[in-house]
Chains A and B, each alone.
Chain A
Amino acid sequence: MNKSFLILKREYLTRVKKKSFIIMTLLVPVMMAALTILPTYLAMMDDKEERTIAVFDPTGLILNRLESNEFTKFHYIPEQEFQKLSKNFSSDNYYALLHIPANILTTNRAEMISDKQVTFDIKNLVTRRIENIIEGEKRKQVIDETGVPDLEKRLSATKTDITVETIKLGDKGEAVKSSTEIAMAIGYAAGFLIYMFVFIYGTMVMRGVMEEKSSRIVEVIISSVKPFQLLFGKIVGIGLVGLTQIAIWIVLGIAIVTGLTAFVGQEATEAAAQAQNIMTNPAMGQMAANTPEAQNKVIEIIGMIGNLNIPLIIFALFFYFIGGFILYASLMGAIGSAVDSDEDAQQMMLPVTMPLIFSIIILFAVAKNPEGPLAFWASMIPLTSPVTMMVRIPFGVPAWEIILSMAILIATIFGTIWIAGKIYRTGILMYGKKVNLKEIVKWLFYKN
């Protein structure tokens, strides 16, 4: 096993020291963070620009009801100035000219004139404000016509917001507040993560085996170690590369998100009062949290995440991560040993990766109905269970199902390693022979 450790060390270090690995590992979290946080941040920065919008309102409906905020000011102009501006909009004072037509109550149309493209946020802001005012105006007219006293107040009272709380009963019958959405999100994320990891690093094992075979170094190495030790060291070494990458991603991701949200959040606090009308963005949770209602929501979400069985999810994540990887990596290693060329490898890989791809195809169906027969069987069959069971676990799965699924996976891993070892041992020394499945099955029965 000392030799396996040497091999493991080489497999690990050569890959971790590669430039492409370092770049990918560092860049991905930075890019992800940049992609989610930067646009929001930039949008907020943009909004700091002070703009004045000229308003011409012959109807008088809007007049003085459009309130200016810190960055967007409204300035009402007389007809004379409007005539001048609408013909030739060249003004240093005004960003745009808003024209409320006399028949706005029937046409529902207004126009905004500018010499530049009006920004999305401004257009949104103006539209929403006018909408509110016109809607209120129409409503008032209808209420006035009916003559029912206090109708306004009574109508307002009918406004309802319904929240269906999903409550899961815990083991001891206590009610646990749960959230289908959160369980789903965590399930998807975990399922995808396992799929990606198994696929990328399983392929890496295959490539490594092929490299050793085609460069013929394998013959020298297996004259000092057993083929199985070589395969074992390779799989574990590459698996650790994957775990290293994910660990770095998690740490960097958390660091970047905390760092940036703290930074963005500070800016947001100042802007919050004025910026309430800016499109809400999920990445700006910090900002939303400044209003008491949103704050409660965040606390509630955190509470619901806390109600999930976090230790179980983390344990299962690692278990299925490692189990799924070993299962597929040993199969891919066997394929790598049996083929001579990339094309052959692609062809042989397809039947092996099919169940993995299948488990991603059924991901949504499983998340929709985590107790159904599809979800159950797919989480028992070892080739699909790493992804499928991971999707199900946040919803809560009976302990016996988890234990059974894990036991089946472990048993299958032992069987697969045995088979893969046999194929590998014969395959790595077999050159210039086009192999098919029949041939490979024959190898299983070769004596050492």
Chain B
Amino acid sequence: MDIFQANDIVKEYAGHVALSSVSISVKEASIFGLLGPNGAGKTTLIRIINQITAPDSGELFFEGRPVKADDIYQIGYLPEERGLYKKMKVGEQALYLAQLKGMSKNDALKSLKYWFEKFEIQAWWGKKVEELSKGMAQKVQFITTVIHQPKLLIFDEPFSGFDPINTNLLKNEILELKKKGTTIIFSTHNMSSVEEICDHIALINQSKKILDGQIDQVREQFKTNTFEIVYRGEVPNLQYHLGSHFNLLEHDESSLLKQMKVQFLNNQSNNELLKILMNQFEIVSFKELIPSMNDVFIHVVEQNNREIKQ
């Protein structure tokens, strides 16, 4: 089931189009990657989901029905640029933010105790935020985002400012939240983390959605039928053996294990290539090259920008 759906969202700011007819749907208990270059309109879309701003036109659905004002209590939001009241004590502040999200004081205290213990930061309760390091403040902020057990979480660049250990901790927390049934919208420029944790992505460029789908399918969609073969042996004239159906892109014979990249020109099957190669040398590995999200991102955005320019 889709926990959140946006249809044909349009938002303009004084002549500047921030979002033009963007639609997304987010499946329950999945991680949805919202991608796009800087200034593409991601933040605007996130603000619309959060009901910080309203769209000029378009429809929004939460749990299958049109959004209500109360739905924001089911949403947790960790903005990219984040901060807390510097002069306020950590515990007081976390309690305040939890209450603003509609929790009762007792529930909030209980829940905060659980999270502070989990992150081993009980000692910070009475400290002022200005005494914390950036990473420490980020942890507190993460807690205040998830404290009210929202059904939908929105993380905007959640890993920025974290060291590798805390990044890992946070990643595991996010995956655990997903396991418990929480839906997560995840906006980032870090494509390797997208590949790692996202189930579904939407790519926005220059206020339009230009790509959408299951992450595996998206990558599949952009594969170029290229295979990487590692082998042992000698082949004097490789392209001759490959014939006209296969194109030799790269050939590296410098080390003991030689490597080549071959592109299928027609709809050949893998086995046909293997048949040819098997006769020439010993195959060590054979794998299809599926483009990384990073490659897909760059390829799609650059192509889109060229199209817009023309």
A215 and chain B: residue at smallest CB distance: B83
Residue from B78, B99, B144 with most neighbouring chain A CB atoms (10 Å): B99
Q: How many residues of A contact B (CB 8 A)?
A: 24
Judging by beta carbons under 8 Å apart, are B100 and A225 in contact? yes
Q: How far is the CA of A222 from the CA of B97 in the complex (A)?
A: 11
Judging by beta carbons under 8 Å apart, are B82 and A10 in contact? no
A352 adjacent to chain B (CB < 8 Å): no
Partner of B52, one of A211, A222, A431, A447: A222
Residues of B within 8 A of A14 (CB): 85, 87-88
Judging by beta carbons under 8 Å apart, are B52 and A429 in contact? yes
Residues of A within 8 A of B14 (CB): 442, 446
| Given known A216-B79, A447-B56, A448-B54, contact A224–B84 (CB-CB < 8 A) | no
Residues of A within 8 A of B72 (CB): 223-224
| Given known A211-B85, A446-B13, contact A223–B50 (CB-CB < 8 A) | yes
Tell me the A200-219 residues at the B interface (CB within 8 Å): 211-212, 214-217, 219
Residues of B within 8 A of A447 (CB): 54, 56
Q: How large is the interface on B (under 10, 10 to 19, 20 to 34, 35 or more residues)?
A: 20 to 34
Main secondary structure, interface of B, reads loop
Judging by beta carbons under 8 Å apart, are B96 and A10 in contact? yes
Q: How far is the CA of A324 from the CA of B67 in the complex (A)?
A: 39
Q: How far is the CA of A222 from the CA of B55 in the complex (A)?
A: 16
Judging by beta carbons under 8 Å apart, are B54 and A223 in contact? no
Residues of A within 8 A of B56 (CB): 447
A430 and chain B: residue at smallest CB distance: B13
Q: How far is the CA of A185 from the CA of B275 in the complex (A)?
A: 108
Judging by beta carbons under 8 Å apart, are A219 and B52 in contact? yes
Hey, what's the 0/1 contact readout for B107-139 against A, CB within 8 Å counting as 1?
A: 000000000000000000000000000000000
Q: How far is the CA of A244 from the CA of B86 in the complex (A)?
A: 24
B59 CB to nearest A CB, Å = 16
Residues of B within 8 A of A212 (CB): 85
A220 adjacent to chain B (CB < 8 Å): yes
A14 CB to nearest B CB, Å = 6
B196 adjacent to chain A (CB < 8 Å): no
A297 adjacent to chain B (CB < 8 Å): no
Residues of B within 8 A of A224 (CB): 72-73, 97, 100-102
Q: How far is the CA of A21 from the CA of B8 in the complex (A)?
A: 52
A221 adjacent to chain B (CB < 8 Å): yes
B75 and chain A: residue at smallest CB distance: A223
A3 adjacent to chain B (CB < 8 Å): yes
Hey, what's the 0/1 contact readout for B1-36 against A, CB within 8 Å counting as 1?
A: 000000000000110000000000000000000000
Judging by beta carbons under 8 Å apart, are A223 and B77 in contact? yes
Partner of A221, one of B100, B102, B141: B100
Residues of A within 8 A of B141 (CB): 220
Partner of B83, one of A3, A10, A216: A216
Residue from A7, A10, A219, A446 with most neighbouring chain B CB atoms (10 Å): A219
A314 adjacent to chain B (CB < 8 Å): no
A212 and chain B: residue at smallest CB distance: B85
A9 and chain B: residue at smallest CB distance: B96
B101 and chain A: residue at smallest CB distance: A224
B98 and chain A: residue at smallest CB distance: A224
Residues of B within 8 A of A431 (CB): 81
Residues of B within 8 A of A442 (CB): 14
B51 adjacent to chain A (CB < 8 Å): yes
Residues of B within 8 A of A214 (CB): 83
Q: How far is the CA of A221 from the CA of B81 in the complex (A)?
A: 13
Residues of A within 8 A of B97 (CB): 220-221, 224
B232 adjacent to chain A (CB < 8 Å): no
Given A6-B100, A7-B100, A219-B79, 5 further pairs, Cβ under 8 A: A6-B96, A215-B85, A220-B79, A223-B50, A447-B54
Interface set of A (CB-CB < 8 Å, partner B): 3, 6-7, 10, 14, 211-212, 214-217, 219-225, 429, 431, 442, 446-448
Interface set of B (CB-CB < 8 Å, partner A): 13-14, 47, 50-54, 56, 72-73, 75, 77-79, 81-88, 96-97, 99-102, 141, 144-145
Shortest 8 CB-CB distances between A and B: which pairs? A215-B83, A216-B83, A223-B50, A224-B100, A223-B77, A216-B81, A219-B79, A448-B54
| Interchain Cβ contacts under 8 Å between A and B, 13 examples | A6-B99, A216-B79, A216-B81, A216-B82, A216-B83, A217-B83, A217-B85, A219-B52, A224-B72, A224-B97, A224-B102, A429-B53, A446-B13
